[in-house]
């Protein structure tokens, strides 16, 4: 008997050390809690942080909120082949979404915050950007995590619908 195909989700930000790995960790936690077999990973549109671990400040805010980063994350740049092998690609900003759509026009690229029921649902796509905490302090990382968490259950519900209600 063949193993069922795992649904694959990728989160994407700029350097793959703050927003996208934070979203990856939050989504893994939520998918596991929902009993869904989903493979979640992350990448960046830039290679400037290639090989670096998750930003210490991002790790600290995750740990403070009960998440357990496993320490294995290493930043990497997204490739077109990544996009074609994922069922859902979640962009952290409209700029990331544009870069991803240029890389692979056929990829299913969706704004991460479009799954937040309280996020703007009309107007320019950039209104759905997840705030970049990089240049800020701990409060900016708290805001970023709050935006990620606010959309996470919507992502889980969407994926559950895509896989046919499996739980």
Domain edges within the chain: 7-162
User: On the CB side of 4, how many CA atoms lie within 13 Å of its CA?
Assistant: 10
Identify the burial level of 114 via C-beta atoms within 10 angstroms of its C-beta, where 0-12 means exposed, 13-18 middle and 19 or more buried.
middle
Which of the residues 29, 47, 132, 153 is marked catalytic?
Answer: 132
- CATH number attached to the domain at 7-162: 3.40.50.2300
Residue that is written with structure tokens 């759509």 in the block: 101
Residue 18 has pLDDT above 50, yes or no: yes
What separation in angstroms does the CA of 35 have from each of 22, 54, 167?
Answer: 20, 26, 5
Which of the residues 18, 19, 41, 160 is marked catalytic?
Answer: 19
State mean pLDDT over 109-132: 94
132 tagged catalytic: yes
Residue 88's beta-bridge partner residues? 9
Residue 66 or 5, more confident: 66
Q: Write down the pLDDT at residue 165.
A: 56
18 tagged catalytic: no
């Amino acid at each position: 008997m063949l193993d069922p195909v795992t649904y694959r989700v990728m989160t994407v930000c700029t350097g793959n050390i703050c927003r996208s790995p934070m979203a990856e960790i939050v989504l893994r936690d939520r998918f596991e809690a929902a009993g869904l077999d989903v493979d979640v990973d992350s990448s960046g549109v830039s290679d400037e942080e290639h090989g670096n671990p998750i930003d210490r400040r991002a790790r600290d805010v995750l740990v403070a909120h009960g998440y357990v980063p496993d320490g294995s994350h290493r930043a990497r740049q997204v490739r077109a082949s990544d996009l074609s092998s994922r069922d859902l690609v979640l962009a952290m900003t409209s700029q990331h979404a544009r870069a991803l759509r240029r890389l692979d026009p056929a990829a299913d690229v969706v704004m991460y915050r479009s799954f937040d029921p309280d996020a703007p649902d009309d107007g320019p796509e950039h209104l759905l950007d997840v705030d970049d905490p990089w240049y800020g302090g701990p409060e900016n990382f708290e805001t970023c995590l709050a935006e990620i968490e606010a959309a996470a259950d919507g992502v889980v519900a969407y994926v559950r619908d895509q896989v046919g209600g499996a739980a």
